[in-house]
């Protein structure tokens, strides 16, 4: 099953961005891994912040799709016209791949580790 897992923004300073979106916009923090990554409750979709160490899209906002098999879905999307940017690879919390759709928009595929 494929579903939107999160919408990802790059963050030069994760703590600063968490304070901004938590305190100014009112989003609840679901999870934070130091200055690497944070997940906030966007009311049905997770809003994620990736610090420089985890910014896999070069600062471009991207939708992350949770899939059952990253490698198989990567193959399916590249056969349909997507371009593989990196991966599949082991991230700190998941297996992930970064692609660009046929219009050049970044997207991330991810799944839990087996």
Q: Which residue has the tokens 């979106």?
A: 21
DSSP 92: S
Q: Return the bridge partners of 37, or none.
A: 33, 50
CATH fold of 3-111: 2,3-Dihydroxybiphenyl 1,2-Dioxygenase; domain 1 (3.10.180)
Q: What is the structure's pLDDT at 11? A: 94
Q: pLDDT under 70 in the chain at which residues?
A: 114
Q: What is the structure's pLDDT at 113? A: 72
Integer Cα distance of 99 and 80 in angstroms? 12
Segments making up each domain of the chain, as ranges: 3-111
Query: Model's pTM, two decimal places?
Result: 0.84
Q: What is the structure's pLDDT at 33? A: 95
Q: What is the structure's pLDDT at 114? A: 60
Integer Cα distance of 64 and 28 in angstroms? 19
Q: What is the structure's pLDDT at 1? A: 82
Integer Cα distance of 108 and 46 in angstroms? 14
């Amino acid at each position: 099953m494929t579903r939107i897992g999160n919408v990802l923004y790059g963050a030069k300073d994760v703590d600063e961005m968490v304070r901004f979106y938590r305190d100014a916009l009112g989003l609840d923090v679901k999870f934070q891994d130091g200055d690497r990554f944070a997940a906030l409750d966007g009311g049905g979709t997770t809003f994620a912040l990736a610090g420089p160490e985890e910014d896999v899209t070069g600062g471009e906002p991207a939708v992350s799709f949770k899939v059952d098999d990253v490698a198989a879905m990567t193959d399916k999307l590249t056969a349909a016209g997507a371009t593989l940017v990196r991966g599949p690879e082991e991230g700190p919390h998941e297996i992930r791949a970064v692609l660009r759709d046929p219009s050049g928009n970044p997207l991330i595929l991810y799944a839990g580790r087996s």
